[in-house]
């Protein structure tokens, strides 16, 4: 990768320029600017740390991530794959009698006792690695300090209600609360009932409770509480008030979208990056970021059905209501996914109808090509840093695949041999590689 973005310094291959001959996939032409990840020193036990990084992160996290993990069958490289909905939850300060202490509850114990409790569920991890990580987080992570401060206040006020609130936005008006007894960098701790419930996306931790509280994917503390090894200083992630760089913003759009935030984070730049050197945990973070972004799009469609002119489907609604009436059942709320949502039934049907229209016009396809991605491509191997392997850098694999796909289509469609060919292609994914199957007329 020999080219650089002129705004954020992200590195590119020359073939990744867009139609305007610019590199915009990283910071959207200078509109997005985020603080850099802090540096990290290498550990003598780095091999064990890299192999068990997901277990270490889960044991040291302040919030849990719940999902149905379905890895591919076989003996291929590690692949993190989810099925269904993803949940992020935070537990009360103290565990109940039926449950073991976990996540943020462990930070109220001394370091050695907390390490023993973590090792009981992660016996393949090294004790001194856990001790070093625990010591580091207690020193620099504001969430660890907040849990310990709340524990001390509960001990000092045993008969008074205490709660800790991780605010969705640090700049929100605090006048709707009583003055907090103690404030840390990321939380406000209240002693006594202030008579005001937290906002919808605020995270509220109580001393005891029967259930865990779900964390909104829009809360800026979600990533830093779930991935303490990627955000050791508790750096806040995307929030709805994040704005574009003032000199580069437009009148139409002034705020950073969730997609723009994660694209900026995933872009590679010169220098060491904790994110790109986290191996299996990097895979998990990518999947989690995709689920959050896709969930936000679905939430927008759910909340803006009228603006999307869903009343045009009135005939479908009438048919469903009539059928429900005849069967004596109650209809649920119907949510229409428009054809602009990639992967929706209407999107797939529209693509199919376009392909069939071309078949009627030009006849049956003449060529059927399958284009696969190999992790042994020189562009991929040359981009690996240190002990990285291709499965550790899915972002590099995707970028190289897209470059070669673009070059293939240019060779077939724009060069003098096959100028009259019309491509229709479909992207598939298998256990170990991505497949592109273009059909040409």
Number of Cβ atoms within 10 Å of the Cβ of 81: 14
Comparing 3 with 196, which gets the higher pLDDT?
3
Residue 140: inside a domain, yes or no? Answer: yes
**127 near 120, Cβ under 8 Å?**
no
Q: Output the six-digit token pair for 138.
A: 């207690």
Q: What are phi and psi of 57, to 5 degrees?
A: -65, -45
Q: Is the pLDDT reported for residue 304 higher than 60?
A: yes
CA distance 120 to 113: 11
Q: Is the pLDDT reported for residue 237 higher than 70?
A: yes
H-type alpha helices, 126-274: 127-140, 142-156, 222-226, 258-266
Q: How do residues 108-150 score in pLDDT, each as one tens digit?
A: 998 889 999 998 888 888 888 888 889 999 998 999 998 998 8
Residue 439 exposure: Cα atoms within 13 Å on the Cβ side: 12
Residue 214: inside a domain, yes or no? Answer: yes
Both 387 and 311 in a single domain? no
Q: What are phi and psi of 438, to 5 degrees?
A: -85, 145
Both 198 and 210 in a single domain? yes
Q: Is the pLDDT reported for residue 196 higher than 60?
A: no
Q: Which of the listed residues 201, 224, 242 is the one where a domain comes to its end?
A: 242
Closest CA to 16 of 268, 273, 386, 247: 268
Domain count, the chain: 3
pLDDT value of residue 437: 47
Comparing 290 with 192, which gets the higher pLDDT?
290
Closest CA to 396 of 56, 88, 32, 12: 12
Both 70 and 127 in a single domain? yes
Residue 36: inside a domain, yes or no? Answer: no
- Cα-based angle 39, 26, 427 (whole degrees, multiple of 5): 115
Both 163 and 312 in a single domain? no
pLDDT value of residue 314: 64
Sign, CA torsion 74/76/80/82: negative
When the pLDDT of each residue in the chain is averaged and rounded to a whole number, the result is: 80
> pTM for this one?
0.81
Residue 431: inside a domain, yes or no? Answer: yes
Q: Is the pLDDT reported for residue 434 higher than 50?
A: no
Flag the least confident range among 37-41, 305-309, 376-380, 399-403.
37-41
Q: Which of the listed residues 283, 314, 336 is the one where a domain comes to its end?
A: 336
Q: Name the range with the highest mean pLDDT among 68-77, 389-398, 418-427.
A: 389-398
pLDDT value of residue 231: 92
Q: Is the pLDDT reported for residue 431 higher than 70?
A: no
Both 98 and 226 in a single domain? yes
Comparing 277 with 173, which gets the higher pLDDT?
277
Both 151 and 176 in a single domain? yes
Residue 30: inside a domain, yes or no? Answer: no
Both 80 and 229 in a single domain? yes
- Cα-based angle 59, 188, 131 (whole degrees, multiple of 5): 25
- Model confidence at 205, pLDDT cuts 50, 70, 90, reads confident
Flag the least confident range among 150-154, 195-199, 378-382, 394-398.
195-199
* Average pLDDT of the residues in 95-100: 82
- Model confidence at 226, pLDDT cuts 50, 70, 90, reads very high
Q: Output the six-digit token pair for 186.
A: 């990321």
Q: How do residues 324-370 score in pLDDT, each as one tens digit?
A: 888 888 777 777 788 888 888 888 888 889 888 888 988 887 777 78
- Cα-based angle 305, 306, 312 (whole degrees, multiple of 5): 95
Both 205 and 232 in a single domain? yes
Q: Is the pLDDT reported for residue 427 higher than 80?
A: no
What's the gap between Cα 85 and its chain centre?
13
Both 310 and 367 in a single domain? no
pLDDT value of residue 171: 55
Residue 296: inside a domain, yes or no? Answer: no
Residue 267: inside a domain, yes or no? Answer: no
Report the greatest alpha carbon distance in the chain: 84
Long-range pairs for 383-389: beta carbons < 8 A, 24 or more residues apart = 383/1, 385/276, 385/277, 386/277, 387/50, 388/277, 388/279, 389/77
Q: Is the pLDDT reported for residue 8 higher than 70?
A: yes
Flag the least confident range among 82-96, 220-234, 426-440.
426-440
Structural domain range at position 324: 305-336
Both 315 and 434 in a single domain? no
pLDDT value of residue 37: 52
Both 318 and 406 in a single domain? no
Number of Cβ atoms within 10 Å of the Cβ of 33: 15
Both 75 and 166 in a single domain? yes
């Amino acid at each position: 990768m020999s080219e650089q973005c002129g705004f954020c310094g992200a590195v590119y291959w020359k073939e990744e320029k867009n139609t305007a001959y610019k590199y915009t996939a990283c910071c959207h032409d200078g509109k997005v600017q985020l603080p850099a990840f802090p540096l990290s020193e290498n550990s003598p036990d780095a091999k064990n740390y890299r192999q068990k990084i997901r277990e270490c992160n889960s044991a040291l996290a302040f919030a849990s991530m719940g999902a149905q993990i379905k890895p591919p069958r076989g003996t291929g490289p590690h692949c993190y794959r989810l099925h269904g909905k993803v949940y992020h939850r935070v537990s009360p300060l103290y565990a109940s009698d039926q449950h073991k202490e976990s996540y943020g509850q462990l930070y109220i114990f001394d370091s050695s006792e907390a390490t023993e409790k973590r090792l009981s569920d992660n016996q393949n991890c090294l004790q001194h690695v856990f001790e070093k990580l625990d010591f580091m987080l207690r020193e620099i992570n504001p969430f660890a300090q907040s849990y310990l401060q709340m524990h001390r206040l509960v001990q000092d006020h045993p008969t008074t209600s205490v709660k800790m609130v991780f605010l969705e936005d640090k700049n929100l008006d605090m006048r709707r609360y009583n003055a907090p007894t103690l404030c840390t960098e990321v939380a406000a701790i209240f002693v006594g009932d202030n008579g005001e419930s937290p906002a919808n996306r605020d995270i509220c931790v109580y001393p005891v409770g029967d259930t865990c509280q779900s964390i909104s994917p829009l809360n800026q503390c979600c990533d830093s509480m779930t991935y303490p090894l990627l955000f050791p200083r508790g750096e806040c992630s995307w929030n709805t008030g994040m704005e574009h760089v003032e000199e580069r913003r437009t009148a139409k759009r002034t705020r950073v979208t969730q997609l723009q935030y994660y694209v900026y984070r995933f872009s590679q730049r010169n220098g060491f990056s904790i994110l790109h050197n986290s191996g299996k945990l990097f895979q998990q973070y990518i999947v989690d970021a995709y689920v959050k972004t896709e969930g936000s799009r679905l939430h927008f469609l759910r909340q803006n059905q009228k603006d999307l002119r869903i009343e045009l489907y009135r005939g479908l609604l009438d048919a469903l209501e009539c059928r429900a009436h005849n069967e004596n059942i109650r209809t649920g709320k119907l949510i229409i996914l428009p054809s602009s949502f990639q992967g929706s039934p209407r999107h797939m049907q529209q693509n199919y109808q376009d392909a069939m229209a071309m078949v009627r016009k030009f006849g049956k396809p003449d060529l059927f090509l399958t284009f696969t991605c190999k992790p042994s491509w020189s562009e991929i191997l040359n981009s690996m840093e240190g002990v990285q392997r291709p499965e550790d850098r899915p972002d590099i694999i995707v970028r190289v695949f897209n470059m070669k796909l673009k070059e293939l289509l240019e060779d077939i469609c724009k060069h003098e041999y096959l100028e009259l060919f019309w491509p229709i292609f479909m992207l598939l994914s298998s256990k170990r590689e991505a497949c592109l199957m273009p059909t040409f007329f």
